[in-house]
Structure 1
Amino acid sequence: MMRDEYLVECNIDDDDEDDYDEDYDVKKIQPSPPPPPQFSSTPSLAHVEIRDPCGVNKHLKVEFSDVLAEPESTHSYDRVWVYSGIAFESTRLWVYRCLTALCAVPLSCLCGCLFALLACMHIWCVMPCIQVCHTCLPCVRSLWMSVVNIFITPFCTSVARCCSGIYVMVSKE
């Protein structure tokens, strides 16, 4: 008998009337959906717009209202508030663009070199050391077990036999 956890529910749609053309009595061909962007031969512009797909920099989404706010009791002129918001947003945008124009390419090269160095060290130094340890550990383990069986086990057995004759009696006086 098969348990319920192995059973799968399949919905069967017997409603095929919509797929037939009444005039020709031929089934219409449904267009296939486009392939995912990673399998598409033409680069899509939507893929370029997603620059933080993993949400690494969610904490940097700062707006004017996150930084500056006026309480109800104190308000400046409406035009001053609006122009301050415009100045904040445009200054933040243009200073970021200027800094990235100056620093993005050199820092990208530096980060690329750093990650290449880390990958090289991991591939050519760290993993071979780990593999050597994994290879040598069975030999070290058998040597350690021999030392334990030769020296420590007889000592512990002797102490246990000496202490096995000791009885402790608890009495109320």
Structure 2
Amino acid sequence: MDGLKKGEDSEEVEINLGDSSDPEEFDHGEQPQTLWKAPSHPEAEESIHSSSLVDISDTKPLLNVRDPRGINDCLKVTFEDVIAEPVSVRSGDRVWIWSHALFEVSRVWIYRIITVLLAIPISILSGILFAVLSCIHIWMIIPCIKCILLGTRWLQKLWSVVLEVLVRPLLASAGRCCAGFSLHLAEE
């Protein structure tokens, strides 16, 4: 999972659950099986977006790049980020391999099960929340701010005159007074 980069297609992950001391296990031309990832079908993904209405829509889902802005880069957690055995204390090779495989499988499948149960309701609630906040911002907050700015235009003009007449000459004269000072640093 850590090897995925932005904009790249996902790759199949192969985990050999055999003992690392069995080198002749795949000598007969066999390839190890992937445990949990189904092979992707690019034709099926292309047929999803065949409608011209979907092509111009701004809500078209991004199937390959699901985090284009890198919002969740902190969640790229692998087995090595969580569990690490020092050289002085080691478990058996099979225990390490099975732990790694079970960690990855459980992480992926529990996430998928939870998203099946929660993704659609949370997406609907988030959509409603952002729609309400956008409506309030567009139709209430910005008009109120514009009304306040229009009503206080005289105050803005008065403030700019006060700054121009009183504060600017005072700060300009203080700057000219301080311009005569020079600071020299000498090493001892």
Cα distance in 1 for partners of 2:89, 2:127 equals: 50
| Identity in percent | 47
Higher relative contact order (CA 8 A, sep 6+): 2
**1:62 has 2:62 as partner:** no
Match of 1:94 among 89, 99, 109: 109
Matched AA of 1:116: A
Cα distance in 1 for partners of 2:158, 2:80 equals: 68
- For 1:23-82, what per-residue CA distance to the aligned partner results, in whole angstroms no more than 9, with x for missing partners? xxxxxxxxxxxxxxxxxx696xxx521111111100000000000000000000000000
**1:138 has 2:153 as partner:** yes
- Tell me the CA shift for residue 142 of structure 1: 5.9
**Residue number in structure 2 paired with 1:129:** 144
**Residue number in structure 2 paired with 1:16:** none
Q: Which has the larger radius of gyration?
A: 1
TM-score of the superposition, structure 2-length normalised? 0.51
TM-score of the superposition, structure 1-length normalised? 0.55
**Residue number in structure 1 paired with 2:100:** 85
The number of equivalent residue pairs is: 106
Matched AA of 2:71: V
Cα distance in 2 for partners of 1:93, 1:85 equals: 12
- Tell me the CA shift for residue 141 of structure 1: 4.4
- The 3-state SS of whatever aligns with 1:49 is coil
Greater fraction helix: 1
Cα distance in 1 for partners of 2:157, 2:85 equals: 73
Cα distance in 2 for partners of 1:99, 1:84 equals: 22
Cα distance in 2 for partners of 1:79, 1:127 equals: 63
RMSD: 2.5
**1:108 has 2:123 as partner:** yes
**Residue number in structure 2 paired with 1:49:** 64
- 5+ residue gaps, structure 2, are 1-51, 56-61, 167-188
